[in-house]
Amino acid sequence: MTQDGTYQLIVKGQGKTGDASTVTDYSVNFQVYNKPMISDMFNYPNPFTSSTAFVFTITGTQVPQNIRIQILTVTGKIVKEITKDELGPLHIGRNITDYKWDGTDSYGQKLANGVYIYRVITNQDGKNWIILR
């Protein structure tokens, strides 16, 4: 499956006796995206009380070598940066990070309650990408 598109996987099962009552079909539809990108990005839970994880989908043929998440105030000040190593293992497809942000800044100080913005910065295919949420 090298082309983008919708595909269907069909699995047919049959019992030992081979009679019609034991035949079972199962199918699942799925999308293939070859273009490298990060999408479907959100943090969960949101809002949070103690910690939140980051959820996103990576498409393409390989996981970006450099990826980081920056957390910013609404005025644009970076208060926390999370590296790829801190995020935990990443793979092509939907990811839920091992890392859970606890609402602290880079110095471990608890931030005030409020709205914070985060952005994912990566380098794929020699191009810098920034995704803001």
Average pLDDT over residues 24-46: 83
pLDDT value of residue 32: 77
Looking at residue 25, the DSSP 8-state letter turns out to be: E
Does the reported pTM lie above 0.75?
no
Q: How confident is the model at residue 38 (pLDDT cuts 50, 70, 90)?
A: confident
Q: Break the chain down into helix, strand, coil percent, rounded to 5.
A: 5, 55, 40
pLDDT value of residue 112: 93
Answer yes or no: is pLDDT of 61 > 90: no
Q: How confident is the model at residue 70 (pLDDT cuts 50, 70, 90)?
A: very high
pLDDT value of residue 83: 94
Q: 37-132: what fold?
A: Immunoglobulin-like (2.60.40)
Looking at residue 17, the DSSP 8-state letter turns out to be: T
Tokens standing for residue 32: 């293939």
Answer yes or no: is pLDDT of 26 > 60: yes
Question: What are 39-55's pLDDT values in tens digits?
Answer: 888 988 888 989 999 99
Between the CA of residue 18 and those of 12, 22, 24, 26, what are the distances in Å? 12, 7, 11, 17
Question: What are 80-122's pLDDT values in tens digits?
Answer: 999 999 999 999 989 999 999 999 999 999 999 999 999 888 8
Q: How confident is the model at residue 128 (pLDDT cuts 50, 70, 90)?
A: low
